[in-house]
């Protein structure tokens, strides 16, 4: 995410949560750009968003970090916009914009008063068609990304484990095992030719989805999009690597030390997860993750923190569940992991934490989760889902994730119903099938001697 967390411009709260489907129409331009339009006249606000089918998994050895680097470069200027003008023009109309890099896609968006939509279309078409990337701007942004890595990964307690070590030790395929933010060595080795080649291949119209949600006339908006985007030629040929992983066939335990950590921790990650949107296993595991790890009422918080007094936190600094630690269930393709990071007391051993987690999972696999418990989890999930869908940005994100990850924005519709259809028996079966010690990766994180005993 470029800068801090995005302000969500929560003005579109009049959308009706009773309708679980997002109405939309779609079309494709001759150059391959796929467009989704979802009009909503409730309030004069709209989101203009684009998702590119490129994330960390599309990077090749020796050139890691390019997907995230482009999240920065896309704001550095284009043919008709000098550096900083993109933000300044939008902010002058009270608009919000940002971007985020994921393992499987990159998202850019603007949320604005609806009369600013033509400006947003022109701005995005200009950087998509003629991004200005020179040696100086490239090196400048490489330095920015490196500093971001120092601050948010290298020198942040627990971040090296969760954002680098987990993937590198759990997965064997480079597409899945390297950090999306890249390495200093790869970023320093990048050439201008490399960067331009990456842009030509992955930022071409045929590798993108465009989505507009909010207050607009679909006939007029289509004309605007055709005017600004239809002339952009396709460039390069995207390379989509095989992201398949061999099945893990035995428990693995890793011991690491974190010089910045003041409290020891244990990450328990199950491998061999089901395919995205597979029914009912995928949805059952997503809800089970919330049951086990989310909040102080979760099973493992109650067990480890309250009852056994062996841990001090379960879902910090990142929430656990399906997709942990890099994604949530809505944001990735398989392969993924399931688990959480647990901060435990120094007098408690990682082995004790591991066995308590295993035992709790066994109880669920044996049928310990009743209908009332799953209904409480569903109620919170439904509430969170409705809150997200009340914003034009939330709906645009849902449609674009379905489009780029599933190949069809319609996959976003019916999603809530699929979660609500999960039964205790589904969760029991999924726990028994997937959450077994043979698929587990246990990371035992120790504090450095200099950090022990410090507040």
- Give the 3-state secondary structure of 181-201: CCCHHHHHHCCHHHHHHHHHH
Write out pLDDT tens, residues 295-315: 899 999 999 999 999 999 996
Map residue 60 onto helix, strand or coil: coil
399 assigned to some structural domain: yes
238 assigned to some structural domain: no
Q: Is the domain of 204 the same as that of 278?
A: no
pLDDT value at position 450? 58
Last residue of a domain, one of 229, 263, 296: 229
Last residue of a domain, one of 229, 260, 292: 229
396 assigned to some structural domain: yes
DSSP type of residue 207 = G
7 assigned to some structural domain: no
pLDDT value at position 455? 43
- Give alpha helix (H) positions in 390-414: 392-406
Q: Is the domain of 185 the same as that of 140?
A: yes
Phi, psi of 454 (to 5 degrees): -85, 150
Q: Is the domain of 49 the same as that of 173?
A: yes
Number of domains in the chain: 2
Q: How far is residue 387's CA from residue 367's CA, in Å, rounded to a whole number?
A: 31
Tokens standing for 292? 């086990």
Q: How far is residue 334's CA from residue 337's CA, in Å, rounded to a whole number?
A: 9
Residue 340's domain comprises 252-451
307 assigned to some structural domain: yes
Q: Is the domain of 308 the same as that of 432?
A: yes
Q: Is the domain of 257 the same as that of 220?
A: no
pLDDT value at position 236? 79
245 assigned to some structural domain: no
The pLDDT > 90 percentage for the chain reads: 89
Q: Is the domain of 162 the same as that of 265?
A: no
pLDDT value at position 454? 47
Q: How far is CA 186 from the centre of its chain?
A: 23
Q: How far is residue 316's CA from residue 279's CA, in Å, rounded to a whole number?
A: 29
- With helix as H, strand as E and coil as C, how does 22-38 read? CCCEEEECCCCCEEEEE
pLDDT value at position 20? 72
Write out pLDDT tens, residues 313-355: 996 656 799 999 999 999 999 899 999 999 999 999 999 999 9
291 assigned to some structural domain: yes
Q: Is the domain of 208 the same as that of 289?
A: no
- The closest of 422, 234, 209, 383 to 295, measured between CA atoms, is 383
Q: How far is residue 51's CA from residue 236's CA, in Å, rounded to a whole number?
A: 18
Tokens standing for 432? 């028994």
- The CATH number that applies at residue 224 is 3.30.830.10
Q: Is the domain of 183 the same as that of 145?
A: yes
pLDDT value at position 17? 45
Q: Nearest 5°: CA angle at 175, between 173 and 176?
A: 75
Burial 150-186 (b: 16+ CB within 10 A, else e): eeeebebbbbbbbbbbbbebbbeebbbebbbbbbeeb
For residue 175, the surrounding DSSP H or E stretch is helix 174-177
111 assigned to some structural domain: yes
Q: Is the domain of 434 the same as that of 341?
A: yes
Q: Is the domain of 126 the same as that of 54?
A: yes
Q: Is the domain of 213 the same as that of 106?
A: yes
Last residue of a domain, one of 186, 214, 229: 229
Q: Is the domain of 202 the same as that of 267?
A: no
For residue 254, the surrounding DSSP H or E stretch is strand 252-258
Is the omega angle on the peptide bond into residue 317 within 30 degrees of 0, that is, cis?
A: yes
How many DSSP H helices and E strands does the chain contain?
A: 17, 12
Which residues lie closer than 8 Å to 370 by C-beta, 6 or more apart?
Answer: 424
DSSP type of residue 438 = G
Residues of the chain falling short of pLDDT 50: 4-18, 451-455
pLDDT value at position 12? 37
């Amino acid at each position: 995410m470029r800068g801090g967390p995005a302000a969500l411009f929560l003005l579109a709260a009049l959308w009706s949560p009773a309708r679980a489907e997002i109405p939309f129409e779609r079309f494709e331009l001759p150059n391959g750009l796929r467009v989704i339009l979802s009009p909503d006249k409730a309030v004069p606000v709209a989101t203009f968003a684009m998702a590119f089918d490129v994330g960390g998994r599309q990077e090749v050895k020796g050139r890691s970090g390019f997907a995230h680097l482009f999240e920065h470069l896309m704001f550095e200027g284009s043919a008709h916009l000098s550096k900083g003008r993109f933000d300044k023009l939008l902010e002058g109309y009270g608009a919000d914009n940002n971007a985020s890099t994921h393992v499987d896609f990159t998202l850019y968006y603007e949320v604005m008063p609806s009369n600013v939509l033509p400006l947003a279309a022109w701005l995005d078409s200009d950087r998509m068609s003629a991004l200005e990337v020179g040696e100086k701007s490239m090196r400048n942004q490489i330095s920015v990304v490196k500093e971001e890595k120092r601050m948010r990964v290298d020198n942040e307690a627990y971040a090296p484990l969760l954002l680098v070590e987990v993937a590198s030790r759990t997965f064997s395929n480079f597409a899945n095992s390297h950090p999306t933010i890249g390495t200093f060595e790869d970023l320093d080795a990048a050439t201008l030719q490399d960067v331009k080649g990456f842009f030509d291949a992955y930022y071409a119209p045929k590798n993108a989805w465009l989505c507009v949600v909010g207050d607009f006339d679909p006939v007029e908006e289509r004309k605007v999009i055709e005017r600004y985007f239809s002339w952009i030629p396709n460039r390069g040929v995207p390379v989509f690597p095989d992201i398949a992983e061999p099945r893990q066939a035995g428990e693995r335990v890793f011991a690491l030390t974190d010089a910045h950590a003041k409290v020891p921790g244990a990450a328990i990650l199950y491998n061999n997860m089901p395919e995205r949107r597979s029914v009912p296993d995928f949805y059952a595991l997503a809800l089970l993750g919330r049951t086990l790890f989310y909040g102080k009422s979760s099973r493992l918080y109650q067990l480890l923190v309250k009852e056994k007094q062996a841990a001090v936190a379960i879902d910090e600094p990142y929430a656990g569940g399906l997709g942990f630690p890099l994604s949530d269930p809505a944001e990735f393709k398989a392969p993924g992991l399931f688990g959480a990071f647990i901060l435990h007391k120094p007098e408690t051993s990682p082995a004790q934490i591991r066995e308590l987690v295993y035992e709790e999972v066994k109880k669920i696999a044996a049928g310990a989760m009743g209908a009332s418990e799953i209904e409480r989890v569903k109620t919170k999930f439904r509430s969170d889902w409705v809150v997200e869908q009340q914003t034009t940005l939330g709906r645009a994100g849902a449609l674009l994730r379905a489009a780029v990850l599933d190949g069809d924005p319609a996959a976003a519709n019916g999603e809530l119903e699929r979660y609500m259809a999960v039964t205790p028996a589904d969760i029991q079966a999924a726990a028994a099938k997937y959450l077994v010690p043979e698929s587990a990766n246990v990371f035992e994180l120790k504090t450095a001697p200099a950090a022990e005993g410090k507040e």
